[in-house]
């Protein structure tokens, strides 16, 4: 896999481990809950990952976008589906979402190599 994605995952994992090793109960439970949120339920995991992606985009959190892009890729989301999520994010969040859309597409292209 390509460089952007590797770097992101390595840093994410290293720092998450440090955060969790501090043994703050609220943070540990919250991070745990965060993973549970996107599991299959009344809505399939694929839909939930799309929800996580669009929420991350309108809140303009590049790292959250990268995380959910990986999950969306694992869930087999197509290019056309991705761009329709981008469209909702850009319409709801406005032109300030455009720079995040650029970085999201760059990351997505690396995922597909």
List residues binding a second copy (CB under 8 A). 11-12, 15-16, 18-19, 22, 24-27, 29-31, 33-34, 36-38, 41-43, 47-48, 50-52, 54-64, 78-81, 83-99, 101-103, 105-106, 109
CB of 56 to a second copy, least distance (A): 7
Can you read off the two tokens belonging to residue 76? 């087999």
Which segments within 1-113 are labelled E, that is strand? Answer: none
Instruction: Say if CB 89 and CB 57 are below 8 A apart.
Output: yes
Instruction: Say if CB 67 and CB 59 are below 8 A apart.
Output: no
CB of 82 to a second copy, least distance (A): 9
């Amino acid at each position: 896999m390509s460089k952007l994605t590797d770097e992101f995952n390595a840093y994410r994992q290293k720092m998450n481990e440090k955060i969790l090793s501090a043994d703050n109960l609220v943070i540990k439970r919250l991070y745990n809950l965060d993973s549970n949120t996107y599991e299959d339920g009344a809505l399939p995991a694929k839909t939930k990952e799309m929800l996580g992606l669009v929420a991350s985009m309108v809140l303009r959190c590049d790292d959250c976008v990268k995380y959910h892009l990986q999950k969306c890729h694992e869930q087999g989301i197509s290019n056309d589906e991705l761009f329709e999520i981008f469209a909702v994010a850009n319409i709801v969040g406005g032109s300030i979402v455009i720079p995040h859309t650029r970085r999201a597409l760059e990351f997505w292209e690396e995922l597909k190599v």
